[in-house]
């Protein structure tokens, strides 16, 4: 049997958004398929610095982070794209001027330009991502970042902010005033391309697992697209297999049905 390459989203796919745990069934399934010679990659919108506990409990052959802006395979960094410092500073200032909360994500962690947020969701994210926060004074001592997210409400001038980005940044509307922003041309699909080329694996031997709209690019590209039980409807037309939810051991269930566990 030819070697397969498996790509997994984190939140809502490997990691439960109910109990914030990776099911033991998923961990065992990933270990089993690797023992058969298949390759396992985590392909996430999270930056490398925001992987947190997931990296401690999931064994993978590589980490594809920040929607394709950081690619690491077997400990080797294959690609790392950062937003130029001058552009980054301008984006941060524009976000402040437009009354927008901003989360900057990079290899070393997440950065916020203020310690607290007037938005409830923004404050919740700060608390949830406390393990990865490196600075709340990014202008003074922050590092490089590859992508960013913004949180908005009725007071935010998001139209002005989006116009200020020009065509350099792709915007994904995640709902409820939350937007994920990635340098144009980079996506989970572009990360898949890099890995398949690196290992000389054909597209037919790739499998992608996901649940949310930032998985759309890889669902559109890869014929073997496994959709979690709880998901964004935009993925449905591209799914080749519908599985159960994370809490119902959906990853292990799909891998067993698809012959990826021997």
Residue 46: CATH number of its domain: 3.40.50.1000
Tokens coding 239: 């799914």
- Can you tell me which residue has the tokens 């984006």? 91
φ, ψ of residue 224 to 5 degrees: the values are -95, 90
> Which of 166, 183, 200 lies at the terminal end of a domain, its last residue?
183
Specify whether 73 is located in the same domain as 198: yes
Query: 34: helix, coil or strand?
Result: helix
How confident is the model at residue 124, as a pLDDT? 82
Same domain, 89 and 179: yes
Helix (H) or strand (E) holding 251, with range, is helix 250-257
Could you report the per-residue pLDDT of 81-117, keeping only the tens digit for each?
Answer: 999 888 888 898 999 999 999 988 888 888 887 777 8
pLDDT category, 165, cuts 50, 70, 90? confident
Q: Which of 126, 160, 183 is the last residue of a domain?
A: 183
Count up the domains in the chain and report the number.
2
Q: Tell me: do 26 and 66 sit in the same domain.
A: yes
pLDDT, position 132: 66
Residue 113 lies in a domain: yes
Give yes or no: residues 121 and 63 share one domain.
Answer: no
User: pLDDT (tens digit, 9 = 90+) per residue, 212-252?
Assistant: 999 999 999 999 999 999 999 999 999 999 999 999 999 99
Question: Are 99 and 173 within one domain?
Answer: yes
> Within a domain: residue 242?
yes
Q: pLDDT tens-digit profile of 182-219?
A: 999 999 999 999 999 999 999 999 999 999 999 999 99
Q: Is residue 253 scored above 70 in pLDDT?
A: yes
Are 110 and 179 in a shared domain?
yes
pLDDT in tens, 108-156: 888 887 777 888 888 888 877 766 666 556 666 556 889 999 999 999 9
Pair (124, 241) in one structural domain: no
262 in any annotated domain: no
Enclosing domain of residue 140: 85-183
Tokens of 45: 């919108």
Q: How confident is the model at residue 31 (pLDDT cuts 50, 70, 90)?
A: very high
Indicate whether 91 and 162 sit together in one domain: yes
Within this chain, do residues 109 and 162 fall inside the same structural domain, yes or no? yes
Is residue 37 located within the same domain as residue 119? Answer: no
Where a domain ends, among 152, 183, 214?
183
What per-residue confidence (pLDDT) applies to 254? 98
Higher pLDDT among residues 78 and 117, named by residue: 78
Same domain, 179 and 95: yes
- Could you count the other beta carbons within 10 Å of the beta carbon of residue 91? 22
User: 143 with 201, same domain?
Assistant: no
Q: What is the mean pLDDT of residues 168-174?
A: 92
């Amino acid at each position: 049997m030819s070697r397969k390459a498996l790509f997994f989203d984190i939140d809502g796919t490997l990691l439960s958004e109910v109990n914030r745990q990776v099911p033991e069934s998923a961990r065992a399934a990933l270990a089993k398929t690797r023992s058969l010679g298949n390759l396992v990659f985590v392909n996430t919108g999270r930056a490398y610095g925001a992987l947190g506990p997931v990296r401690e409990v999931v064994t993978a052959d590589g980490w594809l982070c920040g929607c394709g802006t950081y690619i690491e395979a077997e400990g080797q960094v294959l690609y790392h794209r950062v937003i130029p410092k001058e552009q980054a500073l301008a984006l941060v200032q524009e976000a402040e001027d437009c009354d927008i909360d901003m989360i900057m994500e990079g290899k070393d962690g997440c950065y916020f330009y203020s310690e607290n947020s007037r938005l409830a969701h923004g404050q919740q994210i700060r608390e949830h991502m406390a393990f990865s926060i490196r600075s709340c004074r990014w202008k003074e001592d922050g590092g490089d970042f590859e992508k960013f997210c913004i949180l908005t409400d009725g007071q935010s001038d998001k139209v002005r902010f989006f116009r200020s980005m020009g065509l350099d940044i792709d915007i994904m509307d995640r709902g409820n005033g939350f937007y994920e922003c990635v340098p144009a041309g980079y996506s989970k699909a572009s990360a898949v391309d890099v890995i398949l080329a690196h290992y000389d694996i054909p597209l037919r031997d790739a499998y992608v697992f996901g649940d949310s709209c930032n998985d759309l690019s890889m669902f559109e590209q890869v014929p073997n697209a496994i959709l979690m039980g709880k998901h964004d409807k935009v993925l449905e037309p591209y799914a080749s297999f519908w599985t159960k939810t994370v809490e119902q051991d959906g990853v292990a269930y799909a891998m067993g049905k698809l012959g990826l566990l021997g």
